[in-house]
Chain A
Amino acid sequence: MQISHPRETESQGIGRNLDSMRILVIEDDRDAASWLIKGLTESGHVTDHAANGEDGLAMAQENLHDILIVDRMLPKMDGLSIIRTLRSKGITTPVLILSALSDVDERVKGLRAGGDDYLAKPYAFSELLARVEGLGRRNSQEPLETKLKAVDLEIDLLTRAVTRAGQNIPLQPREFKLLEYLMRNAGHIVTRTMLLENVWDYHFDPQTNVIDVHVSRLRSKIDKGFDEPLLQTVRGAGYMIRAV
């Protein structure tokens, strides 16, 4: 997987999220925290920082943040306990868990505790940013949508029909799922790992870049014959369906 600094995506003028979010970073590693905060701030978000579990819980309980980024292992109170406490108090702020433990079991434990997403350390910043922004959108999304639209591409979640400029495009079930996920995140970058996890539900690295092939197949179906390509590859980060 190619990784790049967030500035690179910015300089290409895509992937910049204009909906600024307030993000609480609960991370005890000073270097990791400052690197994270720098990146998030540069991407246009407002950040707060807590260096231990107790402070983090206290700040999160104020319920002022759009997203919490919580390290799994923290001094004074561990990440999973923070999440459990918050959830038991009815605070539903989306949580991204960061952990050096990459096992599937650990992931399951994190999500069971009430986490919304799980990212194993070390990670690429672009991956973290894409996930954080994805969580932010999930939070604000209207649940009753039955149609998704991006420029002239439209998909109907009930009839499973896909049309572009009024022209019907037949898709395989998995291709539809892939497109649906991209459309739900239209205008935002989704990484290959996010696609593998959300479209295929695989939480391992399949070595060969299988996702690229699936995306290029989908692209050939929805972009072929049209002047304006909608499904774009963001170098070193992932893919994006243009929203406008």
Chain B
Amino acid sequence: MQFNPKILKTSTFRLAAIYLLVFAISVGSILAYVFWNTAGLLERQTDATIRAEVQALADQYRLLGLRGIVDTVQRRSAERGGGVYLIADANGKRVVGNLESVPPQVIDETGWIDFPLDIQIGQNKQRRSARAFHTDLKDNYELIVGRDVQELRQFGDIIRRTLYWALGIALVLGLGGGLLTSRNFLRRVDAITDASRAIMGGNLSSRMPVLGTGDELDKLSRSLNEMLDQIERLMTGMKEVSSNVAHDLKTPLTRLRARVESALRSNSKTEYRAALDKTIEESDRLLQTFNALLSIARAESGQSREMLQAIDAQEIVEGVAELYEPIAEEEGGTLDVKAVAGLNVLADRQLLSQALSNLVDNALKYGVTGENPKPHIEIEGKLEEGNVVILVADKGAGIPAEDRARVLDRFVRLDSSRSKPGNGLGLSLVAGVMKLHGGALLLEDNAPGLRAKLVLPLHQSQS
């Protein structure tokens, strides 16, 4: 495992370090408690024994005088229990006891002392640790009672060393675990970074790795993938639109070029003239297509929202109906309009009129069938569920349910309508205009025929 300095910068490593600190403090306090309850306990017990003995001897001295305790001290000094005893006179000279003289550590009148003790074992002189309590008796005698605590000290050292090791191992394990976790985390983040680089590099179908653990990183990867799916869908849509645009503009341009070319070859004045007339006609159609595309793009981008004004859509409905009514009549059909007042909307009069006129134009073109050759169109403007609704209904062949979403795309023309003039942009423009107005275009079955429905939010006028 190679150490990667990047690990030190990861948030997991930082978390691991903080965790380690807390961990060390708790392990440390547990170990301190263990120490206090083992080595500490023995020391405290020894201290308590010494104090009790001092107390007893002091009491005895008070009752019986020096003579009363000398025997006891002498007897105890002779025992091989590790006891340390000394009764010294005012000059510090030993009266009785196994300690040769008052150790130099004694300063106060009474208290604890720790001092080295040299003991003769056979030939060897051994230095050991001792702990004693000293107190002054009456008549300037001094009493020292203690114990050889060499074993106790050694035991304490062993315990202390064990605890240090335990702490050390715990810290190393904690640190190692932290590093391992962060390395793991880092590897997954790196995988996500690599995937996003690949996508930026042009591999749009690449996706973030998902391990299936359901953790936060997986959730992140999943939502990023969903976002990428969405973007890819939009991109594909855009590509389709531009290739459609290219195709639908190339076809008439090719036609135009071919016509001019063949006219040039013909060398006849009438041919020239006919070709030029056709050229103007064709370029006008192309311009119309261009303008429609630009209008759609403009409406979809929503740039002209600030141009919207509060108007009553009744006026728009009646205006467009009046414009088209003679055409319906000319063709032996009818165009009925029914619009209530108070259809307050925030709208661009021109764009909304254009959208409605596209729908009526469609109804006139496609709202007829073989058995039903006369257009019967109904236009209605009403309030419905707090929205302004404008309906254009015909009795034609309608649009099959599966094609209703498709026909809103640019240049889509159903096979049944190809024989009629048109550029396949009419409904796209209506949808774009609705988007600009925060409304929607719904295509429904009029059984028979098509019912196109414009739904616009009702504008609450400030009064």
Contact = CB atoms under 8 A, between A and B. Distances in A.
> Do A and B form a real pair?
yes
Interface of A: 1-4, 102-105, 108, 122, 124, 174, 200, 202-208, 210, 213-214, 217
Nearest to B303: A105
Which of A3, A174, A208 has the most C-beta atoms of chain B within 10 angstroms of its own C-beta?
A: A208
A104 to B, nearest CB: 5
**Taking chain A's interface residues, is the majority helix, strand, or loop, or is none over half, making it mixed?**
loop
25 contacts: A1-B284, A3-B281, A103-B304, A104-B304, A104-B307, A104-B351, A122-B283, A124-B280, A174-B322, A200-B323, A202-B350, A202-B353, A202-B357, A204-B350, A205-B291, A206-B323, A206-B357, A207-B288, A207-B357, A207-B358, A207-B422, A208-B327, A208-B365, A210-B324, A210-B327
A204 B304 contact: no
A200 B350 CA distance: 11
Nearest to B280: A3
B307 A105 contact: yes
Interface in B310-368: 319, 322-324, 326-327, 330, 348, 350-351, 353-354, 357-358, 361, 364-365
Contacts of B361: 206-208
Contacts of A213: 326-327, 330
B407 to A, nearest CB: 16
B32 interface: no
A104 B350 contact: yes
B381 interface: no
Nearest to A206: B357
Nearest to A208: B361
B442 interface: no
Contact of B288 (A108, A205, A217): A205
A219 to B, nearest CB: 12
Contacts of B348: 104
Nearest to A3: B280
B426 interface: yes
B337 to A, nearest CB: 14
A31 to B, nearest CB: 16
B353 A204 contact: yes
Which of B281, B323, B364 has the most C-beta atoms of chain A within 10 angstroms of its own C-beta?
A: B323
Given A202-B354, A203-B350, A213-B326, 5 more contacts: A3-B280, A4-B277, A103-B295, A122-B283, A213-B330
Contacts of A104: 304, 307, 348, 350-351
Interface in B88-145: none
B294 interface: yes
Contacts of B288: 205, 207
Contact of B354 (A1, A4, A204): A204
Given A174-B322, A202-B323, A102 B353 contact: no
Contact of B298 (A103, A204, A208): A103
What 5 pairs between A and B have smallest CB-CB spacing? A204-B354, A213-B326, A104-B350, A3-B280, A206-B357
Contacts, number: 65
Interface string B415-434: 00000001000100000000
A103 B353 CA distance: 15
B249 interface: no
B100 to A, nearest CB: 115
B48 interface: no
B249 to A, nearest CB: 16
B275 to A, nearest CB: 14
A231 B280 CA distance: 26
B241 interface: no
Contacts of B322: 174
A107 to B, nearest CB: 9
Contacts of B350: 104, 202-204
Nearest to B351: A104
Nearest to A217: B326
A17 to B, nearest CB: 23
A2 B284 CA distance: 9
A102 B291 contact: yes
B287 interface: yes
Nearest to B287: A122
B426 A207 contact: yes
Contacts of B365: 208
Contact of B357 (A4, A102, A108, A204): A204
B368 to A, nearest CB: 14
A203 B323 CA distance: 13
Contacts of B354: 202, 204, 206
Contacts of B294: 102-103
A33 B281 CA distance: 23
A115 B216 CA distance: 62
Contact of A3 (B284, B298, B357): B284
Contacts of B422: 207
A196 to B, nearest CB: 9
Given A202-B350, A205-B288, A207-B426, A2 B327 contact: no
A210 B323 contact: yes
A1 B280 CA distance: 10
A225 B171 CA distance: 113
Nearest to A173: B322
Contacts of A1: 284
Which of A2, A3, A200, A206 has the most C-beta atoms of chain B within 10 angstroms of its own C-beta?
A: A206
Contacts of B307: 104-105, 108
A11 B330 CA distance: 33
A214 B353 contact: no
Contacts of A208: 324, 327, 361, 364-365
A207 B319 CA distance: 16
Nearest to B304: A105
Nearest to A200: B323
A208 B353 CA distance: 14
B298 A214 contact: no
A2 B323 contact: no
Nearest to B425: A207
A103 B330 CA distance: 32
Contact of B326 (A202, A204, A206, A214): A214
A102 B292 CA distance: 11
Nearest to B362: A207
